[in-house]
Structure 1
């Protein structure tokens, strides 16, 4: 499988370097063909390639469980009665996730293949091959961002409703419905630039942010988690890991260059707001790793569009593309060989 991923990486990178020379119809055709190929690879992947395959098979065999999202229940019944083969469930999820990603890339950026490269290096492995329900939910979220820019809150909420049908965590995305895409005023710039340092301050002070909320259910969950951690069954997350720190550096650099980038991509302000909150969530909920990872990864899907915008800040063009390619390659290698997102 790793050779297929590396082949896709090299092919997409090669296309990205000649993207400006391609006719728009050729670019769209290549985008669809590559996306379709990635969907097939994810849908027909071996059962021993990722961490969650067997869990989804078990869910498929007991899809009547009320704790499972309605979309999974309905798709499981559809696959059972039409195909009677769980492989088609994975294929349907892969097609949905890749379709939403391709549509979002086409609507949110002109850098089709750099964005596809960043998606391949991280979220394709994480969501396309592991957390497949989150993969579709995050795809709906990315697709919905265009409606925040136009102020179409009804369509945004409709997309978030669809996302929540695929993963309950997506319900929190309702909070972004009043986000605007206006360029940062001075106080907004300072506010968003201060969020991550403030979260690190909370981390160093060892404050449990969730315990500040007087919600009995959350307090009970935190007590259960603490008990498990004391027994050594759950370790804290590392808020200083290399990938996370690189993401912070890239985000602050793009925040600095925001006005320049906005001339080429009108979505940069919304993307930066969401990415900053994604990074903040990872630090803020350090004491509840599962929630921190899930929320940060759900919001962090904007990196697919955001990080390639480095292209507009660095000259010459080939240097900026090479830098984005190197960043994507580092994410890919750390994900595969260190974090073992997939087994090789």
Structure 2
């Protein structure tokens, strides 16, 4: 009996030690991710130059079509508190995005380490370094979704509004309210990517978008018109007009999606995350006539694979898990090389 109690005590101490090590790694890595933007040169991406030109704007110069209300609020607060310092401006977005994302991963992911690796390798470069407004917005969208799954509908709506005030595109996530979170029609969702491709190929043409844009609210119309004009008048050889539809990244997400459909779990978290991935793939194909719009909208939805993939991994047999984990890490490294080494978010052509 004493030996059993001693072994149990050793096991508990080892478990606690491993948990402390995980927390330490999370904290150190998060700190590194937070400070990276500070050391990047101005002009690292075109967005940074756009932001830099605004940090000294007076209130009368604020353009709420170009940037959202909370962006201008940060510009104003940064002027008052830090004399429009560029570093403090970057840190506000970086701290908010990384800390909130890591908190949500730790709280809601069933495999936080795996989720954190996916977050760091696939989504941090885009949302943490380039589309920093959208990064903070997506973190609030994540938070909102889990409120909705916990039947806190008002909190969901409030957080989506906050997200929209950081990036107007997040308003589309209000559509999640319409999803049946307890059941999935496998026949319909099996065909949804194909439906998206056919719509993108034959229905959602340039003429269709020119017609639809006229009915959008002004804060959405401004951006949409810019995307459309770039397709019509911009250089066709530009990478933003040449997204490779069947690339390594999209094929990876399609593989994850159909593996999820094969599982057939009744967990409402899993069902909702699977449906969000379905609409990511659908939007990527259906909006392909305007490549940069296709990428940006679908990538917002794709971010939820951070929470979906752990559900899928849990369903593999014990003897299969090692191979599956190694394969996942290898694919993530290949995809991240495209981002970190080739600096190409749009055309994953390693395949």
Q: Which TM class, normalised by the smaller chain length?
A: 0.7 to 0.9
Number of the residue aligned with 1:320? 324
Number of the residue aligned with 2:341? 337
Q: CA deviation at 1:196?
A: 0.3
Q: Structure 1 190/140 Cα, relative in aligned 2: closer, same or farther at 3 Å? A: same
Number of aligned residues: 317
TM-score norm. by structure 2 comes to 0.80
Q: Structure 1 75/226 Cα, relative in aligned 2: closer, same or farther at 3 Å? A: closer
Number of the residue aligned with 1:200? 197
Q: CA deviation at 1:47?
A: 2.7
Number of the residue aligned with 1:255? 261
Q: Distance in 2 between matches of 1:232 and 1:83?
A: 42
What SS is found at the alignment partner of 2:55?
helix
CA contact (8 A) 1:50 1:341 kept: no
What SS is found at the alignment partner of 2:64?
coil
What SS is found at the alignment partner of 1:60?
coil
Matched, 1:303 2:309: no
CA contact (8 A) 2:270 2:308 kept: yes
Q: Structure 1 22/205 Cα, relative in aligned 2: closer, same or farther at 3 Å? A: farther
Q: Distance in 2 between matches of 1:223 and 1:279?
A: 21
Number of the residue aligned with 1:70? 69
Return the match for 1:227 from 226, 232, 237: 232
Matched, 1:118 2:118: yes
Matched, 1:139 2:145: no
What SS is found at the alignment partner of 2:275?
helix
**Larger RCO: Structure 1 or Structure 2 (Cα < 8 Å, ≥ 6 residues apart)?**
1
CA contact (8 A) 2:110 2:310 kept: no
Number of the residue aligned with 1:47? 42
TM-score norm. by structure 1 comes to 0.81
What SS is found at the alignment partner of 1:237?
coil
Q: Distance in 2 between matches of 1:39 and 1:143?
A: 19
What SS is found at the alignment partner of 2:277?
helix
Q: Structure 1 258/105 Cα, relative in aligned 2: closer, same or farther at 3 Å? A: farther
Q: CA deviation at 1:22?
A: 5.5
CA contact (8 A) 1:157 1:177 kept: no
Number of the residue aligned with 2:214? 216
Q: CA deviation at 1:247?
A: 1.2
CA contact (8 A) 1:236 1:286 kept: no
CA contact (8 A) 2:114 2:310 kept: yes
The CA RMSD measured in Å over matched residues stands at 3.0
Return the match for 1:270 from 269, 272, 284: 272
Flag structure 2 segments of 5+ consecutive residues without an equivalent. Answer: 1-13, 347-351
Q: Structure 1 72/207 Cα, relative in aligned 2: closer, same or farther at 3 Å? A: closer
**Larger CA deviation: 30-39 vs 217-226:** 217-226
Q: Structure 1 46/224 Cα, relative in aligned 2: closer, same or farther at 3 Å? A: closer
Flag structure 1 segments of 5+ consecutive residues without an equivalent. Answer: 1-18
> What whole-Å deviation, never above 9, does each CA across 1:104-142 have from its counterpart, x for those lacking one?
212321211111111111110011000000000111111
Q: Structure 1 44/308 Cα, relative in aligned 2: closer, same or farther at 3 Å? A: farther
Q: Distance in 1 between matches of 2:112 and 2:44?
A: 28
Q: Which has the larger radius of gyration?
A: 2
Q: Distance in 2 between matches of 1:58 and 1:48?
A: 11
